[in-house]
Structure 1
């Protein structure tokens, strides 16, 4: 196993991590921004007002994109497992 293969596997893993995490992170970011603007406009400083919408949005996004995320992760894992004989041998 040479350094190029290690870097390629690492790069693919990081790219997959960003791709799979992006929908949830971007949704929570947008919901948090909207809640912050709402809190600033109404001067309501309730702690649960910032957390509950984020959790609901994250669960909704996971329900919608969960199968796609799982498919991406399983395909990556299958590629890595099938590459083991070529890397070790």
Structure 2
């Protein structure tokens, strides 16, 4: 195994991580931003107020994107096993 192939595997791992974690983190970020704007507008500074909507949004996004996320991880794992078996 060359250094280039190792770097390709590492690059693909990072791309897979961003692809899998990206939608959930982006939804949590948007929900947090919306709640923060609402809190700033109403001057309600309760810390737990933003927690519940974020948790519900993350659970909802996991339900929606779960199949895609699992298929991405399985495809990457299968590729890694193919590379290992080829050594």
Return 45-54 or 26-35, whichever deviates more.
45-54
- Alignment partner, residue 83 of structure 1: 83
- Alignment partner, residue 37 of structure 2: 37
Taking structure 2 as the reference length, the TM-score comes to 0.96
Could you report, residue by residue, the CA deviation over 1:61-80 in whole angstroms, capped at 9, with x for unpaired residues? 00000011001101110110
Listed as ranges, the gaps of 5+ residues in structure 2 are: none
Taking structure 1 as the reference length, the TM-score comes to 0.94
Residue 72 in 1 paired to residue 72 in 2? Answer: yes
Listed as ranges, the gaps of 5+ residues in structure 1 are: none
Task: State how 1:6-85 maps to structure 2 within 5 Å.
Answer: 6-85=6-85
Deviation at 1:2, TM superposition (A): 0.8
4+ aligned runs moved over 4 Å, structure 1: none
Deviation at 1:45, TM superposition (A): 1.0
CA distance in 1, matches of 2:56, 2:85: 43
Deviation at 1:13, TM superposition (A): 0.2
